[in-house]
Amino acid sequence: MTHTPAPADTGHITAKLSTLDRYLVIWILAAMALGLGLGRLIPDLGHALDSIKIAGVSLPIALGLLVMIYPVMAKVRYNETGRVLSDKKLMITSLVINWALAPAFMFVLAWTFLADLPEYRTGLIIVGLARCIAMVFIWNDLACGDREAAAVLVAINSVFQVLAFGALGWFYLQVLPTWLGLPTTSAEFSVWSITLSVLVFLGIPLIAGFLTRTFGEKAKGREWYEDKFLPKIGPWALYGLLFTIVVLFALQGDAIIAKPLDVARIALPLLVYFAVVFGASMLIGRSLGMGYARTTTLAFTAAGNNFELAIAVAIATFGVTSGQALAGVVGPLIEVPVLVALVYVALWSRKFFPSFNTAKVNA
């Protein structure tokens, strides 16, 4: 059965949430503050956390991401993903938004808001090219999106990321600016580092989730697996999210605090980007008759960005103290609270979808 929301109001859903889920915005803000505080109180903490890397990302962040994604991937009903793949409307719409419209819109925003700040402008364009493969699972699940569709769309985005990231970076940083008579930026992206990022942060939890469901259902049955096992591992997704946020802001806190005005200038186009891409995707999905669950999944996979990859690419290409790296760091500072807010916007928007598109929620 497709994972779609039950026809209940947002307040009713919120009342049924655990304390962790219900006050997620508060926990996220507290995690950000804790990370910033730890980074300031312990000067060598950032260096220690960043001393070992996996796929170009700090080991603690990498572990946090894996813990965060695994429970969500364990919830996916993999035997139902074929139905998603057969939905050509969803597949084509997602590809167009993710790889044509969204990067182009970020390019326009970067040049509109940061025309006089080339390093930040370049960093923002890189963020726009790094399509989300991690935290989108959390937002989609909280908003009662289609888990199977999320798994498929993220997998497709991952393949495109490996194949197209370097070419799109060259196009948006050199070719398109030349056509428009604008300054260009030279940048070389390692295909191997991008591939490794996808394999680690999507491949490992995807395989683990698939094996867990396959052997869990075979040993105990689907009812036990979904009613007993999943509720036990489910909270670990949010634990991983909060841990990742603490470590991320402990690593990058100095850069954020040292340049508050620059952070504000980078934040403004990001706010516009998340709001417009999410809202437009919801409208497009509804107009195409996709139903609430898949429309929500479409919107979150389009609006979210792979900030881990963007930061890693910016640091590897331009250096850890570069403006491009700072732009990547500001990404999650804005994305995390904004997309949490958009979860509530998505739940509220269900009233605009026909009643026949609402059905039982898979636990």
Q: What is the pTM of this model?
A: 0.78
| Model confidence pLDDT, tens digit, residues 211-258 | 999 999 999 998 999 889 988 988 888 888 888 878 877 876 776 777
Measured CA to CA, the distance from residue 254 to residue 37 in angstroms comes to 10
Nearest to 300 by CA among 137, 128, 126, 130: 137
pLDDT over 70 (residue 11): no
As a whole number, the mean pLDDT across the chain is 82
Assign 197 to helix, strand or coil.
Answer: helix
pLDDT digits (tens, 9 = 90+) for 299-323: 999 998 877 677 777 776 776 667 8
Q: What is the pLDDT of residue 268?
A: 95
User: What pLDDT score was predicted for residue 56?
Assistant: 65
**What is the reported pLDDT for 355?**
56
Distance spanning both ends of the chain, measured CA to CA = 11
- H-run or E-run covering 305: none
In which band, very low, low, confident or very high, does the pLDDT at 359 lie, cut at 50, 70 and 90?
very low
Give 139: exposed, middle or buried? Use CB within 10 Å, 0-12, 13-18, 19+: buried
Domain boundaries, the chain: 10-357
Q: How far apart are CA 54 and CA 52, in angstroms?
A: 7
Q: What is the pLDDT of residue 309?
A: 73
Whole-angstrom Cα distance, residue 25 to residue 142? 12
Average pLDDT over residues 334-344: 87
Q: Rounded to an integer, what distance in angstroms lies between the CA atom of residue 145 and that of residue 217? A: 23
Residue 86 above 80 pLDDT? yes
Are the C-beta atoms of residues 312 and 197 closer than 8 Å to each other?
A: yes
CA-CA distance, 358 to 111, in Å (whole number)? 41
Q: In whole angstroms, how far apart are CA 133 and each of 93, 99, 115, 153? A: 17, 14, 29, 9
Instruction: Tell me: pLDDT of 6 over 80.
Output: no
Q: pLDDT value at position 132?
A: 80
Specify the higher pLDDT residue, 129 or 55.
129
CATH class of 10-357: mainly alpha
Which segment of 4-8, 14-18, 132-136, 164-168 scores lowest on mean pLDDT? Answer: 4-8
Specify the pLDDT at position 3: 45
Q: Quote the DSSP letter at residue 234.
A: T
Q: Which residue has the higher pLDDT, 10 or 298?
A: 298
284, pLDDT greater than 90? yes
CA pair distance 251, 247, nearest whole angstrom: 6
What amino acid occupies position 268?
Answer: L
Provide mean pLDDT across the span 288-303. Answer: 94
Q: Are 356 and 152 in contact (CB under 8 A)?
A: no
Q: What is the pLDDT of residues 163-196, one digit of tens each?
A: 888 888 889 998 999 999 999 887 776 667 767 7
For 126-161, write each residue's pLDDT tens digit. Answer: 999 988 876 788 889 889 999 889 888 988 887 788
Which pLDDT does position 19 carry in this prediction?
A: 63
Q: pLDDT above 90 covers what percent of the chain?
A: 31
- Cα–Cα distance measured from residue 205 to residue 211, given in angstroms and rounded to the nearest whole number: 10
157's tokens: 């985005």
Task: Return d(Cα 205, Cα 69) in angstroms, integer.
Answer: 6
Task: Give dist(CA 340, CA 354) in Å, integer.
Answer: 24
Q: Does 285 score more than 70 pLDDT? A: yes
Nearest in space to 361 (alpha carbons), one of 7, 10, 8, 3: 3
